Structure 1
Amino acid sequence: MAFHPIVPGLTVSIDVAGQDLPEYNGDDAQDPSSKTVTKYIEALSGAEFAISYRLDTNVFAFASHAMSISVYCDGDPAGRTLVPPNVTISGTRNSIRHHIQESINGDLIRRPMMFSDLTTSEAEVNKDLFSKLKTVGTIVVKWHTGKIVPFTRTSAPSPFLGAKLANGKVPEKNLKGQAITHQTAYGQEFRQGRVSNFTIRCTGEPFAIFEFRYRSHAALQSMGILPRSPSPIPLEDRNIEDLNQEEMRELLRRQQRQRESSGVAIKREIKRERSEFEDDDDDDDDGDDVEIVDRPEKKPRLDVNDPGTEVVDLCGDD
């Protein structure tokens, strides 16, 4: 719940299925003296939401005043709730769950409010969207005091505008890095209740304003508002006693793939080394380097009958 710093006893929240959504502070510093409280919330695509408020009448200074609560979704009016003086029970949870529109015959047409995700496109910049995008992704609740006066219709009821972006698409170039992920859409209409016979004429400026900026979980993380999810610890680094059956099977599959890939690598290495060895043997016989060795000369044979041959008799005389 968002507490107002200068209006004690007033809290406002956005709830889904009866539960207050957690609220987060952004980087933009809040002025403690400001009438506006700004909070970030996580948008859940397709979920219906409501604006809830509580008053502690023991400290709330405006409990005895007639009040008007005006709701704006994405900058467009979504309805007004009238609170007569001294009717709110202290601490009671009160909720505004529907976009409320008056019909010409006095019936109240109600439509559930819901978060609807936006999709980006590669289309060219649409200049008409820049002004619309300034308020997309916001829920603003303004509180006024006023005076109770009889209701008198002076003009036809305002037409229903519907979602800010009819087709839910926005060119990526229009966003310029803005983390806008959702808009407010409306559910099936139904008629319930009649226009009150009184209204509250607001006096002066609102005494309190609550602005809720809704974004996807991933967008809040990218903006640093939510912490990023920690990287999971690899199975190999975890205690084997902490693994469940499926994680054990996955670890075994990884180990098996690792062994198989290691075996293939070893076979390739052996094949490569064998190929290199055979190439070396071929290089020894390729005949590129030939060593020529001189044959030793034959000694000439002696011919004793040759006149020029000297014969030495080694036999002694008997």
Structure 2
Amino acid sequence: MAIIPWLKGLEVTVKVDGQPATEYDPPEPERAPEKMQFHERDQSLSNGVPYVLKYIQAKPDAPFSFHAHRSTNFQYYGGHQIGITAEVDGREIPGLQIETHAANKLHQNNNTSLKSTGVLEGSSAGGWVKCPFRFSNLNIVEDGVPAKDTKEQILQATNLGHLRVYCYRLGQSVPNQQRSYHHTADPALKETSSMSEKALKGRALDCRVGLGEGVSDTGFSTYQTSWEDTGRRSLAVFEFRYRSLEGLYKEAIIPRPQLNPSPYPADEADAAPTREVDAFALLEVEARQMLQCLLDWKPCIKPENADVGGRDAAIDVDESPHVKSESTCGVKRRRSGTMETRAASLARYKERKLRNGRIEIDLTDD
């Protein structure tokens, strides 16, 4: 429901297909209220103008209606009641919906709801039908529109996609003694209108307001009322801009869902590369641990002048920095280089497993 924080006790809701429409805040502040006139009692320098704007989703061929709710903490001041009028796509809907218990002060201690669900057609003599509001598709034409029609459509497009509810402070109302009256709906609401793509100027509009099939209705009662403000200025304006689901995506009112969502939560998406690096670091640590185990292992080495009588002789390799091999040439061998280099040198030696489970390594060069 749309509310104005400093205007207590008054709220307006648009119901689509019988359910309150989900409301979305505009992406940027709206400047339209600067052009509207309001009663000086209902606006101030600190609070601003009594205006609120929300976006809602329009569903094709779905009926919708306006609902205003006045609670007991609403300040009437000198007036007796409130009234509302509705406007769709820049066209005012005839008829002022008012509270009918005008002079009854006890009525002001109760909650009141006003609604506008459609347009009445007919007469008091011949009967009435109500054509409900509904959303319909907008036929968009790319080319072939005369320049004159394009200019007219540009003016129409400025109000397309707008629903407004105007609230007024009223004085005392009395029943109207006039018995005969009639009304006809705006033909434009019944026609299947087309709009040139040029007239839309890139706006994400693909639907409009139309009227559904009329159903029998009892009509309405008329009252004579007075305006608390002689200038007939609004005490508040509630505006709703309707868009299709695709239109809400295009105008960035709601985020478009991702087709391939990230496997990481939204707050951890930036940490994904770090996790990858950590995984490689873990593999490097494991590799170094395995390399260290290889370097700490003490193999048994068979000297070149070993007993040829069939006995398997073996000696342990000294772990001191300098190792003197048992070869006949008396060459001293020094361990040098990094752990990786030393591991690579050990990997080039010839190994043979002995019968007693020990391993023989041949140090002779090929």
In the TM superposition, residue 47 of structure 1 has moved relative to its aligned partner by: 0.3
Matched, 1:77 2:92: yes
Letter in 1 for 2:250: S
The 1:40–1:88 alpha-carbon spacing in structure 2 relative to 1, beyond 3 Å, is: farther
Which of residues 115, 118, 122 is equivalent to 2:138? 118
TM-score w.r.t. length of structure 2: 0.57
In the TM superposition, residue 130 of structure 1 has moved relative to its aligned partner by: 1.8
Aligned counterparts of 1:187 and 1:138: Cα–Cα separation in 2: 18
The 1:225–1:194 alpha-carbon spacing in structure 2 relative to 1, beyond 3 Å, is: closer
The 1:156–1:132 alpha-carbon spacing in structure 2 relative to 1, beyond 3 Å, is: farther
Farther off after superposition, 151-160 or 135-144: 151-160
Letter in 1 for 2:75: A
In the TM superposition, residue 19 of structure 1 has moved relative to its aligned partner by: 1.6
Structure 2 SS opposite 1:167: coil
Residue matched to 1:135? 159
Structure 1 SS opposite 2:14: strand
The 1:199–1:232 alpha-carbon spacing in structure 2 relative to 1, beyond 3 Å, is: farther
Letter in 2 for 1:137: G
Matched, 1:50 2:75: no
Which of residues 176, 180, 194 is equivalent to 2:205? 180
Q: 1:252-281 CA distances to partner (integer Å, 9 max, x unpaired)?
A: xxxxxxxxxxxxxxxxxxxxxxxxxxxxxx
Number of matched pairs = 235
Structure 2 SS opposite 1:221: helix
Residue matched to 2:74? 60
Is the Cα contact below 8 Å between 1:55 and 1:91 reproduced in 2?
Answer: yes
Root mean square deviation of aligned Cα: 3.0
Larger-gyration structure (1/2): 1
Which of residues 235, 238, 257 is equivalent to 1:207? 235
Letter in 1 for 2:96: R
Residue matched to 2:286? none
Is the Cα contact below 8 Å between 2:190 and 2:211 reproduced in 1?
Answer: no
Question: Any stretches of 5+ residues in structure 1 without a counterpart?
Answer: 239-318
Aligned counterparts of 1:93 and 1:192: Cα–Cα separation in 2: 20
The 1:102–1:202 alpha-carbon spacing in structure 2 relative to 1, beyond 3 Å, is: farther
The 1:174–1:37 alpha-carbon spacing in structure 2 relative to 1, beyond 3 Å, is: same
Aligned counterparts of 2:19 and 2:75: Cα–Cα separation in 1: 27
Is the Cα contact below 8 Å between 1:42 and 1:214 reproduced in 2?
Answer: yes
Aligned counterparts of 1:80 and 1:92: Cα–Cα separation in 2: 15
Is the Cα contact below 8 Å between 1:4 and 1:37 reproduced in 2?
Answer: yes
Farther off after superposition, 154-163 or 94-103: 154-163
